[in-house]
Amino acid sequence: MHPIEQLCFLFTIYSFLGWLCESIFCSFLFKKWTNRGFLNGPFCPVYGIGGLLITSALHPFTGYPLYIEIPLVFVAGTILTTVLEYMTGWLLETMFHTTWWDYSQNRFNYKGRICLLNSILFGLLCVITLLVLEPFLLHVLHAIPRFLRPWIFTAIVVYFLTDTLLTLRTILTLNGKLKQIQQLLDEFRATGTPLKAAHAALSDYLTDNPTVQSFRERLSRLERSTPSQRRLLRAFPTMKPLRNGEPFLWLQQEWQKRRSGKKKP
């Protein structure tokens, strides 16, 4: 098998397995099914990158007796994946001005981006991935018929490029919507109308105030969400924009009301 094909296939498998493990874990924490994917499909690319990084960087720690090999892989894997998670969190915050996860409530966390519990779990996953999963996956991949490999490779590349572009569009659209809502809220405040009192009237559509009515109409257009935007909010319930936090909270409240059926037509 060509090395590029092998890397692509392993990246896809690790991305899927990472999505599956994290979705199950978060579903248990939130007591409801949570599609924990950054992309629309069942994949978490950071796990794909992490899997490839683990299997390439940690091989020098293998080949020893198990009582030496397992602790070495665990410690090195814990350090490596912790750095990767921290850098991923920092990069996403820098690119999209949004905190996607927050471990501030966990003990022994650092800036909410990493925490001891997750680091230990990632270390255990490194041991399983390097010593058990990778040899099995390589055996399976080499059993794929040669003539099918280019087609599978092409399909994977096209899928990830498409899904990544769609996800980026969703995030940028959401950020733009938050900016517009913030501008609208600031404009509404400038009229001297108390926002808190107006919110109650807006929620029930019960007001004769023309300023509030105009505000309601313009805000309603901005409140409309797409399935992709709602999916992101459900996937990352601790998501917090570093900018435009007030309109984000507003949107969360409005979408939650509509989802629960409390909003009146």
- Note the pLDDT of residue 265: 44
Give me the chain's average pLDDT, please: 82
93-149 pLDDT, tens per residue? 888 778 878 888 888 999 899 999 999 999 999 999 999 999 999 999 999 999 999
Instruction: Extract the residue ranges of the chain whose pLDDT is less than 70.
Output: 191-225, 244-246, 250, 252-265
- Note the pLDDT of residue 223: 64
- Note the pLDDT of residue 209: 59
Helix (H) or strand (E) holding 16: helix 3-30
- Residue at token pair 């109650």: 200
3-class SS of residue 161: helix
> Model-level pTM?
0.77
CA distances from 217 to 58, 71, 196, 210, 225 (A): 57, 61, 17, 11, 15
- Residue at token pair 């996607």: 100
Alpha carbon distance 179, 175 (integer Å): 6
Indicate the residue type of 235: A
Alpha carbon distance 77, 127 (integer Å): 8
3-class SS of residue 259: helix
Alpha carbon distance 122, 200 (integer Å): 46
- Note the pLDDT of residue 197: 53
- Note the pLDDT of residue 263: 47
